[in-house]
Amino acid sequence: MTKAEIVAEIAQKTGIEKVAIQATVEEFMGVVKDSLTRGENVYLRGFGSFIIKKRAEKTGRNISKNTTIIIPAHNIPAFKPAKTFVNEVKKSN
């Protein structure tokens, strides 16, 4: 499902104009990105959490050049679904 499809479905279910829904979805994503950039996790009860995972420094290999490189420690964004969310998805299969 794409962002445009999400906007269209919400607009259909609520009767709110697509432009307003689009702005709301964009702003929500911006707030989540800004929070993670500042190092703050975002918790949505019953849905899940947008969290920052810390990756340790590690050694990698460039196979084509047969060289070793050091990959520095870094942070990555991640999503951890809530247990109720996971259970709903499991039941739907």
pTM above 0.85, yes or no: no
Give kind and range of the element (H or E) at residue 82: none
pLDDT of amino acid 29: 97
Q: What is the mean pLDDT of each run of 10 residues along the chain (93 residues)?
A: 96 96 96 96 96 95 90 96 94 79
Cα separation, 90 vs 72, whole angstroms: 37
SS3 51: strand
Residue of 89, 53, 92 whose CA lies nearest to 73: 53
pLDDT of amino acid 92: 80
Contact 52, 35 (CB under 8 A): no
pLDDT of amino acid 17: 95
